[in-house]
A = this chain, B = another copy of it.
Amino acid sequence: MNASDSTTLRLVADCLDQPGIVAKVSGYIAQQGASITEAGQYEDSRSKTFFMRYVIATPTSGFSIDDFSEGFKSIADTLNMNWRIVDVSKKQRLAILVSQHDHCLAYLLHRWKVGDLPFELPSVISNHDTLRELVEWYGIPFHNIPIRKEDKQAGFEATAEKIEEAAPDAIVLARYMQIFPPWLCQKYRHRVINIHHSFLPSFVGAKPYHQAEERGVKLIGATCHYVTEELDAGPIIEQDVTRVKHNHSIRDMMRLGKDIENTVLARGLRYHLEDRILVHGNKCIVFA
């Protein structure tokens, strides 16, 4: 799936369901000498909404993404469509926020370094200074912005400023143990990705492994979701579980949970980076 000098695009769109959507869109693509190499499509029958994701190979010479998008706009307008076209070769910029647990961060940094997860990483921001050494070893700027109980608002404003400096396309909360304030959720709507260390909606909030041990469940899990104003209730991107037994202590669960948290976050983040997710109400359509 490499590119040479041709451009690969992703088109992600939704609109009211109506006849001829695919014909109009694919007709336009063919006219431009481009071709569709991957297609995902879903029709929600209750809301009569149509969702699509195309990967498009464009001609190797004389192609302009701006002209292509401009031309597509007139098609999309006739369909009253929400859409975006992105150049696959342009990596998204991320800001990663962490507290003191290092496993998700270490995982993302390693996968980023070897090229398994394609993103730019202008900044890691933390309310603690604990993980500075790890981050700086990878050559990434690390910013310690404390969140003080007595003035959380000030802490989040400073954090928001640091985020803004990084100009991220998306924000990853890689075990950031602070509840994101509503105004920040709204500002980066459907662009803040959290990993919660339980199988939601079980065990919302603090200390989910303690809650799991208390309830005596036989599987523990992790959930990657977009952050919304309501705690741990945003659209779910990805989930997974692992088996536990009566003799697993909370510490064992925390250890076992790390692998699940890492892989669920990485899968969810990859879906986001590859524009595979369309949010529909409080649910995620994932063209995996």
Contacts and interface: CB of A to CB of B under 8 A. Distances in A.
Interface of A: 1, 17-24, 26-27, 29-31, 33-43, 45, 102-103, 106, 110, 114, 116, 137, 199-203, 215-219, 221, 235-241, 245-247, 249, 255, 258-259, 262-263, 266, 280, 282-286, 288
5 contacts: A22-B22, A22-B30, A38-B42, A216-B236, A259-B266
A91 to B, nearest CB: 17
Contacts of A282: 215-216
Given A41-B36, A259-B259, A1 B249 contact: yes
Nearest to A114: B102
Contact of A201 (B33, B114, B202): B202
Nearest to A251: B1
B283 A216 contact: yes
The residue in A24, A106, A286 that gathers the most chain B C-beta atoms within 10 A of its C-beta is A106
A24 B22 CA distance: 11
Contacts of A45: 1
A36 B50 CA distance: 10
A58 to B, nearest CB: 11
A255 B22 contact: no
B26 A23 contact: yes
Contacts of A43: 37-38
Contact of A110 (B39, B103, B203, B219): B103
Contact of A219 (B36, B199, B203, B286): B199
B259 A263 contact: yes
Contacts of A106: 110
A22 B283 CA distance: 29
Contacts of A39: 22, 39-41
